[in-house]
Amino acid sequence: MDAAALRAVHLTKRYGRLTAVDDLTLDVAAGEVFGFLGPNGAGKSTTIRMLLGLARPTAGHARIFGVDAGEVAAAHRMLAYVPADVALWPRLTGAEHLELLAATGPGTDRGYRDDLTEQFQMDLSKPARTYSTGNRQKVALIAAFATRAPLLVLDEPTSGLDPLMEREFRHAVVAARERGQSVFLSSHQLAEVEAVCDRVGILRAGRLVEVATVADLRALHRTEVTVTYTGVAPQLSGVPGVDTVETTRGSQLRFTLSGPPGAALAALAGADVTALTVREPSLEEIFLDYYGELVNP
């Protein structure tokens, strides 16, 4: 098998004049959990449709463990997919769905499937027409996590889940990684991405604007520093990387720091600093940094 679970090379999709996905090149390693982020309309679903062979790229290609995504029969033996809107057959029960999906999918661990059913507190005896959105999502998630497919493609899989089930979802992702499965997770739940993903890709208007670990993303962005001092305030104006210095109390000030901290530390060393706290930005703040102009033009 190819080393990369997923490889997109110059992947592009145009709809007339609109370029929905623009020259996307990306590798997701075997065993990696990759978060795919972007605001509405950024091109996430279009990318996933190409990965699943549901849409044909205008240019470039995508491979699943070395198999072209367009070779659907071969590629889908290696992946399981959970869509954003799970549609089930209304008369079949949850249990019948799981059997059907096991019979047609890439192989199922039935023992683990029973464990997942318990973890997600899912009553599989009822017909699917009685299921809420969250319960339909749970059926699809149980089916996908119980497969031995080396790649799980999850498109907004937790939008209908309550916080308790969201926690079970995170456990299931961690367990999948421990079994060596790769996960490609498109999500708007930034805390979830932050908690479970090894790396994150940020898509903006069809282009991949950043691919990094959450830790590296944080390092690229502004850190908030609060300094308590006695005597004369540290002189921070004009120090490289230091921005928006404000006095919060008489002997306390706060500033944001981007890039290497050396110059700021040297400036602080010149004052009598009694306490220092450093707060790293959350993924949500980083995300808003990328999209702030879109949200507040």
Ligand X SMILES: Nc1ncnc2c1ncn2[C@@H]1O[C@H](COP(=O)(O)OP(=O)(O)OP(=O)(O)O)[C@@H](O)[C@H]1O
* Residue numbers at the binding site for ligand X (CB under 6 A): 15, 18, 20, 38, 40-46
Nearer to ligand X, 40 or 230 (CB): 40
Q: How far is the CB of 3 from ligand X (least distance, A)?
A: 27
The rounded distance, in Å, linking the Cα atoms of 206 and 230 is 51
Nearer to ligand X, 20 or 257 (CB): 20
Q: How far is the CB of 52 from ligand X (least distance, A)?
A: 13
Q: How far is the CB of 142 from ligand X (least distance, A)?
A: 23
Q: How far is the CB of 200 from ligand X (least distance, A)?
A: 15
Bridge partners of residue 184, in order along the sequence: 34, 153
Nearer to ligand X, 20 or 88 (CB): 20
Q: How far is the CB of 207 from ligand X (least distance, A)?
A: 12
Extract the tokens encoding 100: 């059907």
Nearer to ligand X, 65 or 81 (CB): 81
Q: How far is the CB of 188 from ligand X (least distance, A)?
A: 7
Nearer to ligand X, 20 or 217 (CB): 20
Nearer to ligand X, 51 or 286 (CB): 51
Q: How far is the CB of 248 from ligand X (least distance, A)?
A: 37
Nearer to ligand X, 15 or 89 (CB): 15
Q: Sort strands 182-186 and 33-37 into parallel, antiparallel or unpaired.
A: parallel
Contact 199, 192 (CB under 8 A): no
